[in-house]
Chains A and B, each alone.
Chain A
């Protein structure tokens, strides 16, 4: 098997990044694999793409297993396609903690999209990462963004109660719920109210759909009071709309699309988009610096075989962890800053 980086596909020596920008599907798929398998090697390509990102509307689709996330995504993707947008989809599923393998089956619900050249779908194993997304999801979104996808749907693992990553990744978070799944009490427990920008009550032809809507409205403080919503909107606040859908027939997905598009408009108009993105870049910069630092630091000391010695000294109480840390950090501080 050839190495992942520096592959020449079809004899071309153009970089993966350049080919992604040209809309090359093969290169896009390859680069996402590189991000998953060898993130350091992918950095070179991602550097070249950064300037071309930031245009896509990233829409997170989250909710418990079986609520119809993939079917909803399929319907929404088609609606955006009709408006002339190119669409990216990243569907994350869990890997088995035992074998490391994964069965990624979200595409079963998106069969018609497979041959649409305006749609790129990627199934992704979470690879042990908790929080609903994979480590590689963020940079994979960046690749699809640079490739010209106007809207990118990110479907989370769907464990239901720890989908925190999506808030940090998506511009608009759609939380899907289904009547009669015990979701009514669980929503309040799981803190799902806080992460939703839009609610989709899917399988709304089931009994109790209206009850779920009312319970949600009560929890959001917008129950039966049109004024609350109106006054909030004049203040420029966003009140998460609650849309009823039947994804299997497509019913209600037009209204859902509109709610998502409205939120995007709200983000841009209110300036919140820039605020969120600024915070996101700051967090990203911090984590990239930390990763690089950590790596350099540990490589330095492990090469010298010093690490185990210090641990041994700690065990024998010859040194305390704080002094030890200071000593281990000193060569870096001296050479870089102190001169």
Chain B
């Protein structure tokens, strides 16, 4: 990978979602959503339950195809998603994608090998160090607290050093210490030039973290704000249709 985000023959410097809709039968989970995120940006998808946040993440993860519209990853179109493209996307879902019967080390080594790490065991060792769980690496994941599992899951999502990290409710069930570690890790990823897109309800935790917030309701994008401050009051204003607080740049 090059410093400008170039990877394996294509430039992965931004994600562009252009007029994307996704229907499940007659239900419109996502309707005509447009936004983009560039390298070194953290973008938040905010909205109530059923707003379409998880569906959007699934579309970005190439697990779903848009009913209409296009998603582009740098110079690549999502409709041509292949192993090369998927190798640059990391996902931390609401479910943690970990095998509870395996140890943290085994989980990380398995996913490292699956994502093509040359030395999966070394990658797992480094990931455990980053998660601060080197001394618990040989314990099965089912014996971990939610916060510890979340830290392992985040390292699992990052083990292949993705250009795009997708996070669905990453703060759920975390104590203050684990939350602080996660926030620091996300800021670190931004500095390293990754694109981070997260869907969350935890507005207080996301406050000051996001470079751009996309407000969704009923699958539609109803507002965007660059570098939003006072996220909770902005959210309330946007969702109730009142004017956003002063200082919030909306579109």
Whether chain B is bound by chain A comes out as no
